[in-house]
Amino acid sequence: MESSFTLTPESRLPKWFPLPTGYTRDAVTVKSYYYSSPFPVDNAVFELTDQNDKLLMKATGKTCWHPETKKKRNKYGGLDPDSYPHYVYVRVNGTLEVIEHIKGPTFRIIDDQKLFKEALESNECN
């Protein structure tokens, strides 16, 4: 595993996770785990859990750097500490979401139409 993050409480759930019957949004969270792979495979795992860390649903998808974040690369190809937020996009069962990583181990789902359109038009993660 390369990295793990937790969905911020104020973020909506990813579209591929419907809110389970009997739960409210504040009673569940999503954890993401990114894996490095030299092959074009699903490299992200998302887990929907309850307040007791009980796994309710799991999904995998392929993640790619968003074009907006690629513009922030430094001369060495990396990202500087002051370059946040970072954006990735991921497809799970054909459903695309744009994810914003803010400083720290958290992320949120972004509904910015410009970022979504750029992700749709990008050919890297198809």
Give tens-digit pLDDT for 13-25.
Answer: 999 999 999 999 9
The pLDDT value given to residue 125: 64
Strand extents, DSSP E, 43-94: 44-50, 55-65, 86-92
Domain total in the chain: 1
In this predicted structure, the answer to whether residue 97 has a pLDDT above a threshold of 90 is yes
User: Is 123's pLDDT higher than 70?
Assistant: no
In a domain, 55, yes or no: yes
What is the rounded CA–CA span in Å between residue 48 and residue 57? Answer: 5
Checking if the pLDDT of 99 tops 90, the result is: yes
Give mean pLDDT, residues 102-126: 88
Is residue 84 included in any domain, yes or no? yes
For residue range 52-63, what is the model confidence (pLDDT) as tens digits?
Answer: 999 999 999 998
Instruction: Classify residue 8: in a domain, yes or no.
Output: yes
**Model pTM score:** 0.88
Alpha-carbon gap, residue 77 to 24, rounded angstroms: 41
* Contact assessment for residue 68 and residue 114, using Cβ atoms and an 8 Å cutoff: no
Identify whether 126 is part of a domain: no
Its domain, for residue 94, covers 3-121
**Residue 72 in domain:** yes
